[in-house]
Amino acid sequence: MKKVSLKFSTGTFLLLFCVLNISAQEQKAEINDSLLFKGQLSAWTHFNGNNTLPLWSGARYIPQINYEIKNTKAQLVDFEASLNAYGNMGLNPFDSVNTSGKIKPYRLWARYSTHQLEIRAGLQKINFGSASLLRPLMWFDQVDPRDPLRLTDGVWGILGRYYFLNNANIWLWGLFGNNKTKGWEAMPTTENTPEFGGRFQFPVSKGEAALTFHHRSADNFGLEDFDNYYRNIPENRFAFDTKLDITIGLWLETTWINKNKNLGMFTNQEIINLGMDYTFGIGNGLYIVYEQLVAAYDNKPFSFENTVTFSLLNMTYPIGLFDNLSAIVYYDWTNKSAYNFVNWQKQFNKISLYFMGYINPKKYNIPTQGSGEMLFAGSGIQVMLVFNY
């Protein structure tokens, strides 16, 4: 048998070594772990002569840490942890003082993601829908459209999202340990019971549409306005929303919440939002959002016997590169009252300064779930300073 011998010259060996070394360095460069620290510090002063304590001040600090682990297969594992530390003080000069404060987790989650898949578990923000400000699909967050920081508590759970190549996507989630009311909820979730649901979002002509479902058990013990009390009230939520771009932005968002117990007018809840937005070529560009919302609370579904109707107009105008002026007007058609809010934002390098003023009815009925809304009953002003790093 004839032998075949392979010989490598010194130059060939060095060339092969260099190629392997460069390949290893490129592979190592693709595995980039990163650690990021950032945070937000804010302070505010609020005056409203209609309140028992007319002068309020507060401060909030949200430190945040993010850690990312990447590998060569286009996969990412990352983590986020942040705290919400705040303190407030209400003052009636030379008479009375009220103070409060708390430190609690703000976000605490871990996530695995690829180009088409994302799985996130822990304390997180979950929000979706087509509406802009008056959101029927505000099921798991409590974002107040007047809050320039858009702060909201998160929910404990696991969320999975898969993105198809045709831009459709599917969401699946399970929640546990969220016993306080959230979003539009009138009663909390029963303790130690899970919640679950899903959402399918798909492209349509000129936009997208989605179907959403959620199930939980509610508890109305100890609450007013109920004739019957139950520890476990099966609740199913159904929703449809769509958003289209046809010269103007146009959206429809609808929800139906049904409870499988006789709770009078709280047995069924329907909320419908129809909205539009457009940027007018006036000066630097005037952005306008208009939304019409109808919410019904009835014993029988879709009877619309007990309704509230709100209109909302939001106008935003950039004044140069560093100043922004916005206004929000709500009109309550049921009670024939208007809520007016204006905000001027001044942007510096890492600092934002907000000057806010409002004129509202003394009896506050606006459909928002933001905390501290009673501070905005009547007329007042607020100044906020925010430092981001």
Residue with structure tokens 């009220």? 98
**Residue 60 counted as domain residue:** yes
**Can you give the pLDDT at residue 16?**
33
User: Which positions ≥6 away from 219 have C-beta within 8 Å?
Assistant: 187, 188, 189, 190, 191, 230, 231, 232, 233
The two beta strands, 286-298 and 307-319, are antiparallel
Q: Please give the Cα distance from 149 to 143 (Å, whole number).
A: 9
Q: pLDDT confidence of 373, banded at 50, 70, 90?
A: low
Residue 312 banded pLDDT, cuts 50, 70, 90: very high
pLDDT band at 372 (very low <50, low <70, confident <90, very high): low
How many domains does the chain fold into? 1
Question: For residue range 64-110, what is the model confidence (pLDDT) as tens digits?
Answer: 999 999 877 789 999 999 999 999 999 998 889 999 999 999 999 99
* Range 312-327 average pLDDT: 95
Determine, yes or no, domain membership for 118. yes
Question: Cβ neighbours of residue 280 under 8 Å, at least 6 residues apart?
Answer: 286, 287, 288
| pLDDT reported for residue 58 | 96
157-195 tens-digit pLDDT:
999 999 999 999 999 999 999 989 998 998 999 999 999
pLDDT over 90 for what percent of the chain?
78
Per-residue pLDDT of 124-149, as tens digits, reads 999 999 999 999 999 999 898 889 99
Write the pLDDT tens digit of every residue in 43-58. 999 999 988 899 999 9
Token pair of 143 as six digits: 């974002």
- Digit-coded pLDDT (tens) for 194-253: 999 999 999 999 999 999 999 999 999 888 878 889 999 999 999 999 999 999 999 999
Q: For residue 336, tell me if it sits in a domain.
A: yes
Let me know if residue 302 belongs to a domain: yes
- Asked if residue 347 lies in contact with residue 355, where contact means CB atoms within 8 angstroms, the answer is no
If one compares 366 and 133, the residue with the highest pLDDT of the two is 133
Domain CATH for 235: 2.40.160.100
Question: Among candidates 60, 65, 67, 68, which has minimal Cα distance to 38?
Answer: 65
Nearest CA among 248, 250, 249, 294 for reference residue 134 = 294
pLDDT of 270 reads 97
The pair of structure tokens assigned to 382 is: 């607020």
pLDDT > 70 fraction of the chain, expressed in percent and rounded: 90
Domain assignment present for residue 157? The answer is yes
Q: Which domain holds residue 168?
A: 34-388
pLDDT (0 to 100) of residue 387: 98
2 found inside a domain: no
Q: Which of 289, 293, 340, 332 is nearest to 313 (CA)?
A: 289
Q: What is the pLDDT of residue 94?
A: 82
The pLDDT score that the predictor gives to residue 377 is 85
Q: Which two tokens stand for residue 179?
A: 């016993």
In the structure, what pLDDT confidence band is assigned to residue 10 with cuts at 50, 70 and 90?
Answer: very low
Residue 57 lies in a domain: yes
CA distances from 260 to 7, 186, 266 (A): 82, 15, 11
Residue 346 lies in a domain: yes
Name the average pLDDT for the chain.
89
pLDDT at residue 227, as a whole number: 81
**Residue 127 neighbours by CB under 8 Å, 6+ apart:** 137, 138, 140, 141, 143
Tokens 């479902």 locate to 213
